[in-house]
Every structure is written in structure tokens, then in C-alpha cells.
Structure 1
Amino acid sequence: MAESPLLTIGELARRTGMSVSAIRYYEARGLVDAIRTSGNQRRFLRSDIRRLSFALIGQQLGLTLGEIERELATLPRGRAPTQGDWQAISARIRGALEAKIDMLEQTRDLLDGCIGCGCLSLDRCALYNPGDRAARAGTGPRFLMGNRAGDFAD
């Protein structure tokens, strides 16, 4: 018996590990398109497994929903993406992933010291950020954002 080219929403949920409600949400956002039967039941193309799997992987990589939507919009509808399609996406998101890796490495390296948050709650803040000088550069964890303690010297 040949496999059906269409999947029910339950089958798609089992294949992707997503909840049915998540699939409906992604459908509403236009990441996948359901085909309606005469009884108004949803059916999905097998290629939607790959589209939703990319959404899951993208989330794990820290991509925003907007970034995931933009990338999926570049993929063809109605057929499985090719290796070339995936390589094009990979090339486009590589820079964003490298930036996230750099930020994570900086966080790891600075985690035991001051991250320049301006909280002044650590004993060592008097050494790294006396008088909350990091606040001069703006909000947020200034040292993780690329500033160094020497950037704030009086």
C-alpha cells in the first residue's frame, strides 16, 4: 500500500513532535498551508514535515519567528525543499548564528566576573564598574555588548 501524499494534522504532529495547536498556529501564520477535505478536515503535504522541522530547529538556534517566517517564505510550496534550498537558507542565517555564538562565548567568559549590568550588587563591581560608569554607554549588560571596563575611565 502506497503512502498517502497528504497527512492529517495528528499525523503531522506525530511526525514533527509538535502539538496540534502549534501546527494550527503556524498554519495561521502562513508557515504551512492546509488542504481542506470535503468534510473540512485539514490535510498537509509531506513536505510540511520539513517546513515545521525547520521552524523547530530555528527556534532552538534562537531565530525569531519573523526570521523563521522570512526563510520559509523562500522555500517552494507544494514540494520538498532541495539541498540547494537548504544551503541558501544556511548561507543567509550563518552570520546571525555566528553572532549568537560570539555572544554566548563572551557570556561564558565573563560569567564569573562583572557583566556590566550596572547593578552594583557584587563586591567586585567597585573594581569593574565603580560609580556605575558603564551606564554612560547606555542600557543593558554593557560588557557583554562589547564594552570593556577601560571604555568608561574618568
Structure 2
Amino acid sequence: MSNASLRHRELTPGETAERAGVAVSALHFYEREGLITSRRTAGNQRRYHRDVLRRIAFIRVSQSLGISLAQIEQALTSLPSGRTPTKADWARLSARWRPELDARIDQLERLRDTLDGCIGCGCLSLKSCALYNSDDGLGGNGSGAQRLVRRPVSA
């Protein structure tokens, strides 16, 4: 088979899963979630266009960064239809998440630094522990669980 015909040949679920490094069930899940698409053959078998491999790579990397499937779907929906996304398209999508990722990195660094100073203490005091009670946002509301919503019990 020539290189040109290989580029235009659709992939079976098994081929797609192997090339993308995911299980076939992951492909079906991504499809149910609207993240990728396939077409059905006359025998009702799925076939994936080769550009789905880049989408799956994007999904996997995004998930590893903690990006939600809803955000991934929104990003993928913004890609141009009718052509394979370019490096610039992917860079634009990635740039959307940079502030959120920077904030997470900052939060993790603060947690790491607090943990370093706290680990030997062992106090875990709910009043004074900076790890468990950072900025004590609910302390002014009094003692006890402040986030529980009480509902009347029906008889």
C-alpha cells in the first residue's frame, strides 16, 4: 500500500486503540462523550479517520493535567471542521488553560512548602494548622459543620 493510500485509509477500533495507546472501551467512551467521532460501515463497524489520533493524544494529555472532560469537549468543539488541526490550533487551545494550570502549580507549591514545615509537627490542629485550616474562612460562623444543608426529615 502506498503512503498516500495509508494516509487516507480509515482505522479500525483496534488499530486506533493500539496507535493511541488506549483501550477500545476508551474510544467508545470518548465517542459517547462527543470528544471523537467515527463512521459506521455497511456492516455497522466503527471506522476512525486518522486525525482522531491527534484528538485522542490531546484528550489524554489534557486529562493528565487535570482538565475536565467538559473543558476538553469545549476546546475540541472550537477546532476547525473539514481540516486536520494545525500546531497553531493546538497552541491556541493550550493557551486557554495556561492561567488555570499556573494557579494550580502555585497552589501545589504552597502546599508543598506548608507541608515541609508542618510534617514534623503532627499537630493537625483545626484551630492553628495552616495545612488543614488555611485562611479559616468559616471560623467566624462558629463551631461545627458549616457547609451542611439540613433538610427536614419526612415522616
- Secondary structure of 1:57's counterpart equals helix
What are structure 2's unaligned runs of at least 5 residues?
Answer: 140-155
Q: How many residues align?
A: 133
Q: Does 1:86 align with 2:90?
A: yes
| 1:137 aligned partner, one-letter code | G
**1:102 matches 2:106:** yes
2:76 corresponds to which of 42, 62, 72: 72
CA RMSD in angstroms comes to 2.8
Number of the residue aligned with 2:61: 57
| Secondary structure of the structure 2 residue equivalent to 1:63 | coil
- Paired residue type of 1:19: A
Deviation at 1:47, TM superposition (A): 0.5
Shift of 1:138: 3.1
Moved over 2 A (4+): 76-79, 112-115, 121-130, 132-136
> 1:26 aligns to what?
30
TM-score where L is the length of structure 2: 0.74
| Superposition deviation, residue 52 in structure 1 | 0.8
CA contact (8 A) 1:6 1:44 kept: yes
Shift of 1:76: 2.5
Q: Does the Cα contact within 8 Å between 1:32 and 1:48 map onto a contact in 2?
A: yes
Identity of aligned pairs, percent? 44
Q: TM-score scaled to structure 1, two decimals?
A: 0.75
**How big is the shift at 1:111?**
1.4
